Chain A
Amino acid sequence: MKSVELLKVENLRAGYTGPVTGPVSFAIEEGHIIGLGGPNGSGKSTLLRAITGAARIFSGRIKKAPHTQITHHWQRPELPPELALLGRELFSLLGADPDKSSDRIHCLLDVPLSRMSGGQFQFLQTAACLAGPANLVLLDEPTNNLDGDAIDELSVLLENHDPHRSVILVSHEKPFLEKHCERIIELS
C-alpha cells in the first residue's frame, strides 16, 4: 500500500531577519518518525517554526497535504507562574485523550500547572501533543528537563504511536534520535 505524504520541504531556506537554516529538502509520510540533528544554531527549531508559519521562508517551499493537522511542542516551554489550569484542561485544548497516556501523566491530570516542576510541565505538553488528533507532531528537544524515567516513558509514547501519525523530532541527543527515527536529517 502506498504511504501518504503529509509534508514535503523543498530547498527551504528559512529564518527571521535573514536565513538561518537550509537549503534543506525532505518529505515525511504518514506513520513515520524522522529526526533533525545538528549543532546548536544550525536552525533545527527554525525549521520547525517555518513549517508552522512562525518563521519566514526566504526561498524554497513547504507543501502540506490538505488533511495535515499539526501540533508543535516548543523547545523549553515556559512554565506559567500561578496559573490554576489543570493538566486535564491542557490536554483538552488539543482534544487529546488522557487515556492514551502513561501513569506519569495520569498523576498530573488534576494538578495545576503552577504546582508542576519544569520537567513535569514539559512532559505533560509533549504527551498532550502525542495524544491529540494531529497527524503531524513536531517535538523540539522533548527530552530537555526530563529525568531518566521520564525519557523512558517518552520513548514508550513514541513507540506506541498511532500508525497514521508522523513525528518530526529535534534533539541534540543522538542516541535518542537513532533509537526512534527511521531517518535523521543533519543540519549544518
Chain B
Amino acid sequence: MNDFILFDPLFRVPLLTGLCLAAALSLIGGFLKMREEWLSALGISQISAAGAVAGVALGVPVIFTAVAAAAGAALIKDLNPKSGNSHYAMMIILGWAASLLLAANTYHGEVAGETFLRGQLYFTHGGHLAGALILLVFLLAVLKWLSKRLLTERFFPDYYSANNIAAFPHRIIFAGLVVFSAVLGTVSIGAFPAFAMFFVPPWIGFVIVDGWKKSLAVSVLIAVAAYLVSFAAAVLGDQPFGPLLMIVLALFAMVRPLVKLVRRK
C-alpha cells in the first residue's frame, strides 16, 4: 500500500511546497547563470543555514535570522562590484563552518544543523507553503520586466546610467528574490539540495533548447520532473529526500553531453 502514502494528506503540504520551490529556484537559477553568479546561490544558502542555526541558538524564529544572514551576505556581494567566484567560495566556507560550529555548541543545535544542511521537507508546514507560493506568484508577476532589465544590464552594462534610468528597482528586487528563495529553499529542502535546484536545471536547459524564454521554461520542467521523481522515490523507498534529489538531478544532467554529441554530428 506504499503508493497510497504519496496521497496521504500528511505529504500534501511538503509536496506542494517543494513544487513551488522547484519552479521558483530553477527560474532564479537561470538568471544567476546568465549573470555568471550561480555559485553565489550556494554561498547565500550556506550563510542562511548558519543564520537559521543561530536562530535556534538564540531562541528566535529561524526565518528572521536566516533572512538577516542571507541578506547580509547578498548585500556584501552586491556592494562589491568585483565580487566573483572567489568571494562566493569564501561565503560557502564560512557558512558551512559557522553552521556546524554553532550547531555543536547549541542545545538541539546539532539536529538543527543537520536539518538545514540536509533538508526537512517532510516537516514543512503551512508557513513554508505560503512563503513558497508568494515567492512563485511574485516571481511570475515580475518575470517579463525583470528578465528584460537583467538581460539588458548583462549585455549593455551602463545602459541605465547612460540614460538616467534608475537601476536600483530591478537590482533590489532580484537580490530580494535570491535571498528569499535561498532562505526558503534552505529551511525547506536544505542548503545543498536548494543549490542543486538553482544550478542544475538551467545548466541542462540552457544546452538542450535554443532561445532564452524556452530555455527558462525547459529548466522549470526539468526541476519539477526531478522533484516529483525524487519525492516519490524518497517516500516510497523511505530514503532522505535531499540526497535523492541531487542524484536525480545529476542523472538528468547526463542528457547534456548527449545533446552536445548530437549537435556536433
A contact set with B: CB distance below 8 Å: 49, 51-54, 69-72, 74, 77, 80, 82-86, 89-90, 93-94, 110-112, 114, 125
Contact = CB atoms under 8 A, between A and B. Distances in A.
Given A80-B154, A83-B206, 4 more contacts: A70-B162, A85-B212, A86-B210, A93-B155
A84 B211 contact: yes
Contact of B155 (A110, A111, A114, A125): A125
A84 B151 contact: no
Nearest to B148: A93
Q: Chain B contact residues (Cβ within 8 angstroms of A): what range?
A: 20 to 34
A72 B159 contact: yes
A114 B263 CA distance: 13
29 contacts: A51-B162, A52-B161, A53-B161, A54-B158, A54-B162, A70-B163, A71-B156, A71-B159, A72-B158, A74-B156, A80-B34, A80-B36, A80-B154, A83-B34, A83-B206, A84-B206, A84-B215, A85-B151, A86-B210, A86-B211, A89-B211, A89-B213, A93-B148, A93-B151, A94-B152, A112-B210, A112-B211, A114-B206, A125-B155
Interface string B36-75: 1000000000000000000000000000000000000000
The interface centre, meaning the residue of B157, B159, B162, B215 with most chain A CB atoms within 10 A of its CB, is: B162
Contact of B207 (A72, A82, A110): A82
The interface centre, meaning the residue of A69, A110, A112 with most chain B CB atoms within 10 A of its CB, is: A112
A86 B212 contact: yes
A53 B212 contact: no
Nearest to B256: A82
B12 interface: no
The interface centre, meaning the residue of B206, B210, B212 with most chain A CB atoms within 10 A of its CB, is: B212
B212 to A, nearest CB: 4
Chain B binding surface SS class? helix
Contacts, number: 71
A69 B159 CA distance: 9
A49 to B, nearest CB: 7
B6 interface: no
A112 B33 CA distance: 15
A74 B158 CA distance: 9
Contacts of A51: 162
Contacts of A90: 155
Contact of B210 (A69, A84, A94): A84
Contacts of A114: 206
The interface centre, meaning the residue of B33, B207, B211 with most chain A CB atoms within 10 A of its CB, is: B211
B214 interface: yes
B228 interface: no
B209 interface: yes
Nearest to B211: A86
Contacts of B155: 77, 90, 93, 125
B158 A53 contact: yes
A83 B214 CA distance: 12
Contacts of B213: 89
